[in-house]
C-alpha cells in the first residue's frame, strides 16, 4: 500500500448477522482529503461508516488506517484505539456539561487542556461561549461544539454521520462550507455520510455513490457529473433525462434532436442503440431554432428558471434558461443542444425511464 494513502477499504463486506448490507467495497482516502459516502436510505453508507469506526464487524475484506489493519474478518480493533473522531447526527453532547467541558471530555489528561479547549472554541467561532450549556445554543452552534470535541484529540480520521440533517436549508449550506474550511485549515482527513448531493459536493474532494450495498463510483464531484461510470450514477447525480439515439460513428449519435457530436470517441459501433443523457444546461434557449419544444412546467430559481419541456414525440427534457426568458406552460420554445461533453451508455432492452436525482 502507498505511504500516501491514509485509509483503504479492500474487498469489504459488512452487515448484520447473516445479512450483508455492503459487499465488494473498495475505496481509498489520501491524507488531508475529505470523502463522502452518498446514497439513498438503506444503501449501505452508514453501515460502512460504522465499520470504519469499529462499531460493526467486518465479514470479508479489511480496513486499513495509516498502514495498520484495524478491521478484518474475526478481528475488530476497539473504537477507542483507532484514533478516529466521530460527529453524530444528533450531536451527542453531554447536556450537564458546559461547552468547554464537552470539548475537553476526550482530552482530560492533556497537559495544555485549557489552551487546547480555547483553540478549539476559536476554531469553530465559539470563543466566548465556553461556559454555556448545549441547551443554550442553536442547532448550528451545537454542531460546531460536536465538531470541536471530535477534533480536540487530533484524530487521524474524522467521521461525520449526516451531520447537517437536523438543520434548515440555508444554515445547512453555510455550515457545510464552514466545516470544509475548518477541516482543510487543520489538514484533517474526513469521511462524511449524507443523502444530500449538494452537501456532498460542497464538502468533499471525492464522493462515493452507493446503490443497494455496492459502490457504483468513487470519484471527484466533477467526474461524477461529467463522467458517470454507470446509468445509475448519471441519473442520481444532477438532473437530466435520457433520450434514445443511434451511433453514427465514434464521435456522433443520431437522436430526435438531430446529430449530436461529442468531443472524444465513445464506445459503440455504427448502428448501436445508445441512451444519451442530456442535462438541463445542455439545452439552450434559441428562439430562432426550428427545433421546438412545449413548456409543461417551470421552477423559478432567481438568475435562471428550470423548465420541463416536451418534444413533439412526447420525449421529456429539462432546461435551464436565463430568468428573463419568462415562458409559460403551453408555450412553444425554440431550443438547441450544446452538449459536446456527451454522456452515452449502450441502450438497455427497453426505452429508459427518466430517474429524478435523489436528494
User: 287-318: per-residue pLDDT in tens?
Assistant: 999 999 999 999 999 999 999 999 999 999 99
Does 136 lie in the same domain as 253?
no
Domain contains 353? no
Q: Give the residue from 204, 231, 258 where a domain finishes.
A: 231
Decide: helix, strand or coil at residue 317: strand
What pLDDT was estimated at residue 265?
A: 74
Q: What's 103's domain CATH number?
A: 3.40.50.300
Does 306 lie in the same domain as 161?
no
Write out pLDDT tens, residues 79-92. Answer: 999 999 999 888 88
Does 224 lie in the same domain as 120?
yes
Q: Does 8 have pLDDT greater than 90?
A: yes
Does 171 lie in the same domain as 34?
yes
Report which of residues 138 and 351 the model is more confident about. Answer: 138
Domain contains 357? no
Does 86 lie in the same domain as 152?
yes
Q: Who's near 104: CB < 8 A, 6+ residues apart?
A: 110, 113, 117, 152
Q: What is the CB-side half-sphere exposure of residue 109 using CA atoms within 13 A?
A: 0
Average pLDDT, the chain: 91
pTM for the predicted model, two decimal places: 0.87
Does 267 lie in the same domain as 200?
no
Does 124 lie in the same domain as 89?
yes
Count of the separate structural domains present in the chain: 2
Q: Give the residue from 231, 260, 294 where a domain finishes.
A: 231
Segment holding 186, helix H or strand E:
helix 169-186
Does 18 lie in the same domain as 73?
yes
DSSP states of 195-227 as a string? S-HHHHHHH-SEEEEEETTEEEEEE-HHHHHHS
What pLDDT was estimated at residue 251?
A: 85
Does 27 lie in the same domain as 108?
yes
Distances (CA, A) of 154 to 64, 78, 151: 19, 18, 5
Residue 310 CA to residue 19 CA, distance in Å, equals 44
Residue 158 CA to residue 136 CA, distance in Å, equals 26
316-322 β-sheet, strand order:
283-285, 332-337, 292-300, 304-310, 316-322
Residue 341 CA to residue 216 CA, distance in Å, equals 21
Q: Give the residue from 231, 266, 288 where a domain finishes.
A: 231
Residue 266 CA to residue 252 CA, distance in Å, equals 8
Write out pLDDT tens, residues 173-184. Answer: 899 999 999 999
For 149-161, what is the mean pLDDT? Answer: 95
Domain contains 39? yes
For 160-167, what is the mean pLDDT? Answer: 88
Q: What's 267's domain CATH number?
A: 2.40.50.100
Does 167 lie in the same domain as 71?
yes
Does 222 lie in the same domain as 324?
no
Domain contains 145? yes
Does 145 lie in the same domain as 108?
yes
What pLDDT was estimated at residue 3?
A: 52
Domain contains 1? no
Segment holding 113, helix H or strand E:
helix 113-123
Range of the domain at 287: 240-346
Domain contains 351? no
Write out pLDDT tens, residues 107-124. Answer: 999 999 999 999 999 999
Amino acid at each position: 500500500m502507498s505511504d500516501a494513502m491514509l485509509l483503504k477499504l479492500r474487498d469489504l463486506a459488512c452487515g448484520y448477522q447473516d445479512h450483508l448490507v455492503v459487499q465488494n467495497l473498495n475505496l481509498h482516502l489520501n491524507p488531508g482529503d475529505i470523502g463522502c459516502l452518498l446514497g439513498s436510505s438503506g444503501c449501505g453508507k452508514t453501515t460502512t461508516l460504522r465499520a470504519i469506526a469499529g462499531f460493526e464487524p467486518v465479514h470479508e475484506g479489511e480496513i486499513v488506517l495509516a498502514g495498520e489493519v484495524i478491521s478484518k474478518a474475526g478481528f475488530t480493533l476497539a473504537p477507542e484505539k483507532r484514533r478516529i473522531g466521530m460527529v453524530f447526527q444528533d450531536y451527542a453532547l453531554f447536556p450537564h456539561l458546559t461547552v468547554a467541558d464537552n470539548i475537553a471530555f476526550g482530552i482530560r489528561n492533556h497537559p495544555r487542556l485549557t489552551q487546547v479547549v480555547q483553540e478549539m472554541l476559536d476554531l469553530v467561532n465559539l470563543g466566548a461561549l465556553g461556559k454555556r450549556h448545549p441547551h443554550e445554543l442553536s442547532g448550528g452552534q451545537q454542531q460546531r461544539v460536536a465538531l470541536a470535541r471530535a477534533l480536540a484529540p487530533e484524530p487521524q480520521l474524522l467521521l461525520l454521520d449526516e451531520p447537517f440533517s437536523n438543520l434548515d436549508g440555508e444554515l445547512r449550506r453555510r455550515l457545510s462550507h464552514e466545516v470544509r474550511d475548518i477541516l482543510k485549515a487543520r489538514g484533517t482527513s474526513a469521511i462524511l455520510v449524507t443523502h444530500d448531493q449538494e452537501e456532498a459536493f460542497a464538502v468533499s474532494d471525492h464522493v462515493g455513490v452507493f446503490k443497494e450495498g455496492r459502490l457504483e463510483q468513487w470519484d471527484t464531484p466533477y467526474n461524477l457529473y461529467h463522467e458517470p461510470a454507470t446509468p445509475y450514477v448519471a441519473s442520481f447525480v444532477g438532473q437530466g433525462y435520457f433520450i434514445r439515439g443511434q451511433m453514427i460513428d465514434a464521435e456522433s449519435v443520431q437522436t430526435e434532436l438531430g446529430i449530436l457530436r461529442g468531443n472524444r470517441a465513445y464506445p459503440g459501433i455504427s448502428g448501436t442503440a445508445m441512451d444519451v443523457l442530456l442535462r438541463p444546461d445542455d439545452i439552450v434557449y434559441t428562439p430562432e431554432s426550428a427545433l421546438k419544444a412545449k413548456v409543461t412546467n417551470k421552477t423559478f430559481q432567481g438568475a435562471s428558471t428550470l423548465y420541463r419541456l416536451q418534444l413533439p414525440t412526447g420525449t421529456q427534457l429539462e432546461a435551464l434558461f436565463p430568468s428573463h426568458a419568462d415562458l409559460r406552460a403551453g408555450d412553444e420554445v425554440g431550443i438547441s443542444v450544446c452538449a459536446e461533453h456527451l454522456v452515452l451508455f449502450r441502450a438497455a432492452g427497453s426505452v429508459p425511464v427518466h430517474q429524478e436525482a435523489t436528494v
